[in-house]
Amino acid sequence: MNIAKLSDKEVASRLHELPDWTLAAGKLHREYKFAGFAEAFGFMSTCALVAQKKDHHPEWSNVFDRVVVDLSTHDAGGITALDFALATEMEGAARRPAGAI
């Protein structure tokens, strides 16, 4: 995969479209909180299917009702449009009612 790293200015501009996301250690960062473990795990399962289709996999962790996500494109050495696309998909998945796919 050959995808271009975004400039700092491009990243800052695109972050406005994802208000709950921040920059942390050179990656897009977001912490989600759900009603419980099943909801958090369901979110991760939904996002895993999307990530697999995009062949772009997040760095993430789950503890009970919390999912912490960091996105960057290792091949490009930073944040790319692919990271923003996955973040947007994750936002959609987080807003879906439990059990909806």
What pLDDT, on the 0 to 100 scale, is given for residue 2? 78
What is the torsion angle, in degrees rounded to the nearest 10, for the CA atoms of residue 77, residue 18, residue 98 and residue 56? -20
Nearest-angstrom CA–CA distance, 6 and 13? 10
Q: Which residues pair with 62 in a beta bridge?
A: 67
Nearest-angstrom CA–CA distance, 20 and 81? 17
The SS3 call for residue 60 is strand
- Match domain 21-76 to its CATH number in 3.30.1360.20, 3.40.50.10490, 3.30.43.10, 3.60.20.30: 3.30.1360.20
Nearest to 79 by CA among 30, 1, 31, 12: 12
What pLDDT, on the 0 to 100 scale, is given for residue 40? 96
CB 47 within 8 A of CB 90: yes
Q: Per-residue pLDDT for the chain (101 aa), expressed as one digit of tens each?
A: 578 999 999 999 999 999 999 999 999 999 999 999 999 999 999 999 999 999 999 999 999 999 999 999 999 999 999 999 999 999 999 987 654 44
What pLDDT, on the 0 to 100 scale, is given for residue 96? 78
